Structure 1
Amino acid sequence: MGRWTRIGIYYLVAIGISALARYYWHTDQATSVEAGAWAMYLHLVAGAGPALGAMLVWLLFRYRSRFSLGGTNLPLALVMVAVPAIVMAIRGIPNDFGIEPHLFGVHMGLWIMFYALLEEIGWRGYLQDELGGLSAPVKYSMVGLFWYAWHLSWLGGNPLSSELATLFFMILASAGIGFVADRTRSVLAATAFHILGNIMGLTTDFKRIIPDDHHRIMICIVCVVAWLVILRVWRIWDRRRQAVISA
């Protein structure tokens, strides 16, 4: 079967699970104190759609992606996705669940990492690779469009201007994350940058637990600085490895 058939199957699974999670299981609602901190992991159901869609395509069509979890450098990829948990553990996050703030920071960092990873297995690990024959601007824009539609915010009766702004943000984010994925061939590296949007308020529990925009921005800045340093080291190691291979 052709590319668009595979994409259609992938997207039906991704958006179908998204609809069930958001409108039937209501996983996009904030976690109540009564439910407990572990109930936050129910939010992973919505993020699982892209991952399950990608896995189905890989199994049905024996599709092989150029991307992998670690890409060209698994240790550095693992360090990248660990950065948010480390930053939030050091900062400490006060909470209503009665959990020690520094330990809760680790919990929040890991939780948001798993959510972003489930999405990125689909968006970058499969879809961006499937569209790999297209030019970078077209490829990134198409992934951003699919990504925007998957959130189903356009069904919520929001103003057109708000939806257009969200679409623009998704395409812009898709270009940035997609560029990192193309450079590193790593789904984990893409996951790290995906986390920025979740921290800045696209995830309901983050907005509730850390309502201060300033605090969320500072977490993001520290993470981005750390990631840029890691990507610089990554590039140096890749060049050295290539030089050894070519020698």
Structure 2
Amino acid sequence: MIDRRGLFSYLAITFVTTYAIEGALILTGFRVTDIPPLYGQFVVVGVMWVPALATVLTIKFVTHEGFGITNFRIGPWRPYVATALVIPATFVVIYALTWLLGLGQPDWQLTGFRALMAASGADLSTMPLPAVFLVTLFFASLVIGPTINGIFGFGEEFGWRGYLLPKLMPLGKTQAYLLVGLIWGLWHAPLILVGFNYPGYPLLGVVWMAALTTAMGIYLNEMTLRYRSSLLAGWMHGAINGQGYGAWRILFTNVNPLVGGFTGLVGITMWLGMGVWMVRRRQPRSEHASMAEVEDAEIGESEVA
């Protein structure tokens, strides 16, 4: 049975708080330009913790059900290592396809990025060679993405896959996954409307973002349910953000965001394929029986409650 009271509380707190904060920020003139104002960046990063706040407030003051539902645990270490490698590899494929399909060309000399830095007043003489800069940034993202970014990613994931997903699972996996993806995408709407991810496409961008979060969500949902860890979901979210807003954005500056790259049809299709593969891989398992089976499957792996 669906917990309507818990869902209403969670969604109301999440959306009203987020839209109010971001709406006020937008009214001050904030736009997601090439280099958004620093104060706005701090606000946007802080808003990533609103879904977690909504989860805590709902459980503590509305449903009084305890935090066991959120799978707030580390779980086995292997999926952390695996996803820290698989996610960057996925981005390599996404941008290789973008290039091979003629949807974007890599800017090996970083002319666009250097022009942006120069316009912001940066001293380009201190900047390393483009190849050195790109390689350093890419390898740094392998560590910083899931760790530092993962802290903020967990702020979202404690809500999306820690609370919302299990609350919707009584509807069945398909409906639950679709609803989580749609809600997750629409939550980004205010920022999309002012240039985030889809500059120049405010309305279509909202639709595309919902498609992207739904496609990515299948993979995240499957891993979260399999390993019963919302912390793993936060780690994966951080790894995705580290890749999506790091070296690849700097290298491919001329990609139509609706078609190529991480946010376009290429990225959406790639994530959808990964998600479907994960679902089919787990097909023999009952979607409601996975908890006990994972316990048995992970005997021998180190777990931290």
Matching residue of 1:43: 44
1:174 aligns with 2:213: no
1:115 aligns with 2:116: no
**Deviation at 1:55?**
0.6
Matching residue of 2:72: 69
Q: Structure 2: which amino acid aligns with 1:177?
A: L
Aligned pair in 2 of structure 1 residues 28, 116: CA closer, same or farther (>3 Å)? Answer: farther
What CA distance in whole angstroms lies between the structure 1 residues aligned with 2:11 and 2:204? 26
Give SS of 2:182's match.
helix
RCO greater where, 1 or 2, for CA within 8 Å and sep 6 or more?
A: 2
Across the aligned residues of Structure 1 and Structure 2, the Cα RMSD in angstroms comes to 4.5
Gaps of 5+ in 2: 90-113, 195-200, 254-260, 263-273, 279-292, 301-305
Is the contact made by 1:200 and 1:207 (CA closer than 8 Å) also made in structure 2? yes
What CA distance in whole angstroms lies between the structure 2 residues aligned with 1:236 and 1:80? 17
Q: Structure 1: which amino acid aligns with 2:24?
A: Y
Give SS of 2:171's match.
coil
Superposed CA deviations along residues 40-94 of structure 1, whole A, max 9, x for unmatched, are 5543321111000011111022224444233543x4466578779xx9xxxxxx9
Give TM-score, length-normalised by structure 2. 0.54
Q: Structure 2: which amino acid aligns with 1:19?
A: Y
Give TM-score, length-normalised by structure 1. 0.64
What CA distance in whole angstroms lies between the structure 1 residues aligned with 2:20 and 2:247? 23
What CA distance in whole angstroms lies between the structure 1 residues aligned with 2:59 and 2:294? 32
What CA distance in whole angstroms lies between the structure 1 residues aligned with 2:183 and 2:78? 29
Higher helix share: 1
Is the contact made by 2:193 and 2:206 (CA closer than 8 Å) also made in structure 1? no
Aligned pair in 2 of structure 1 residues 12, 237: CA closer, same or farther (>3 Å)? Answer: closer
Aligned pair in 2 of structure 1 residues 70, 79: CA closer, same or farther (>3 Å)? Answer: farther
Is the contact made by 1:180 and 1:190 (CA closer than 8 Å) also made in structure 2? yes
Is the contact made by 1:80 and 1:188 (CA closer than 8 Å) also made in structure 2? no
What CA distance in whole angstroms lies between the structure 2 residues aligned with 1:99 and 1:42? 28
What CA distance in whole angstroms lies between the structure 2 residues aligned with 1:42 and 1:107? 20
Q: Structure 1: which amino acid aligns with 2:297?
A: R
Aligned pair in 2 of structure 1 residues 34, 66: CA closer, same or farther (>3 Å)? Answer: closer
**Deviation at 1:148?**
1.3
Is the contact made by 1:78 and 1:188 (CA closer than 8 Å) also made in structure 2? no
Aligned pair in 2 of structure 1 residues 43, 80: CA closer, same or farther (>3 Å)? Answer: farther
Is the contact made by 2:164 and 2:180 (CA closer than 8 Å) also made in structure 1? yes
What CA distance in whole angstroms lies between the structure 2 residues aligned with 1:56 and 1:137? 28
What CA distance in whole angstroms lies between the structure 1 residues aligned with 2:74 and 2:50? 22
Is the contact made by 1:10 and 1:57 (CA closer than 8 Å) also made in structure 2? yes
Q: Structure 2: which amino acid aligns with 1:211?
A: I
Q: Structure 2: which amino acid aligns with 1:4?
A: R
Q: Structure 1: which amino acid aligns with 2:180?
A: V
What CA distance in whole angstroms lies between the structure 1 residues aligned with 2:69 and 2:15? 24
Give SS of 1:54's match.
helix
Equivalent residue runs for 1:200-211 within 5 Å: 201=244, 206=245, 210-211=249-250
Equivalent residue runs for 1:1-247 within 5 Å: 3-25=3-25, 29=32, 41-60=42-61, 61-64=63-66, 65-70=68-73, 72-73=75-76, 75-76=77-78, 110-153=147-190, 156=193, 158=201, 160-199=203-242, 201=244, 206=245, 210-213=249-252, 238-239=296-297, 241=299
Sequence identity of aligned pairs in percent?
18
Is the contact made by 2:192 and 2:202 (CA closer than 8 Å) also made in structure 1? no
Gaps of 5+ in 1: 88-93, 218-223, 229-234, 243-247
Is the contact made by 1:77 and 1:188 (CA closer than 8 Å) also made in structure 2? no
Is the contact made by 1:144 and 1:172 (CA closer than 8 Å) also made in structure 2? yes
